[in-house]
């Protein structure tokens, strides 16, 4: 009996109409949610600067640190720390979005605000790891001493390059 009722409903297109109505209601709800989820224009522009070239620098930084860690895999202490640094350096976009553009708003849409937005909490995480080493081993491991200047240098370069007109045109060409 239930099979016959299902066939009749399918034949008349009853479920198709209901599904179409649900889809229209869903689409009507989706638009206001998209609008509500947007950030202000300045913040989106700043994060777009990161999307243009920051990901390329992140990949290079990760490759260098992870590669050094793999080369030093026989030395477990250095290996662990270099892979930790490589992984932490990938958190900049997440931390940058998590801070809800506080640095850009308060320090300005410039290299300093950009640096704070993306790298402040990454660097705090690195300092915590170094302090843990200092606390537990009474010294900072040589892997940190060697890698942290490289990390900070690439972060500063990324922040400066983000506001360079020359790099904007190169990055667009690379990413398209």
Length of the chain: 176
**What local confidence, expressed as pLDDT, does residue 89 receive?**
92
State the pLDDT at residue 11.
52
Which tokens hold the place of 7? Answer: 């066939």
Of 173, 170, 44, the residue nearest 105 (C-alpha):
44
Q: What pTM does this model have?
A: 0.66
Per-residue confidence of the chain (176 residues) as pLDDT tens digits? 555 555 555 555 455 545 555 555 555 555 454 444 444 444 444 445 555 556 778 888 999 999 999 999 999 999 999 999 999 999 988 888 888 788 888 998 888 988 998 899 999 999 999 999 999 999 999 999 999 999 999 999 888 888 887 777 776 777 66
Calpha distance 127→119 (Å, rounded): 12
């Amino acid at each position: 009996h239930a099979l016959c009722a299902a066939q009749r409903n399918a034949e008349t297109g009853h479920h198709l109409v209901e599904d179409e109505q649900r889809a229209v209601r869903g689409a009507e709800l989706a638009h206001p949610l998209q609008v509500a989820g947007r950030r202000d224009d300045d913040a989106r522009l700043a994060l777009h600067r990161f999307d243009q070239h920051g990901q390329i620098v992140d990949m290079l930084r990760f490759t260098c640190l992870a590669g050094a860690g793999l080369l030093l895999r026989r030395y477990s202490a250095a290996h662990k720390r270099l892979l930790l640094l490589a992984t932490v350096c990938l958190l900049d976009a997440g931390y940058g979005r998590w801070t809800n553009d506080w640095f850009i708003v308060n320090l300005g849409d410039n290299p300093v605000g950009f640096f704070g937005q993306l790298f402040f909490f990454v660097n705090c995480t690195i300092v915590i790891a170094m302090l843990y080493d200092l606390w537990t081993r009474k010294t900072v491991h040589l892997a940190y001493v060697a890698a942290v200047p490289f990390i900070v240098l690439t972060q500063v370069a990324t922040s400066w390059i983000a506001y360079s007109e020359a790099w904007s045109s190169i990055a667009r060409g690379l990413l398209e």
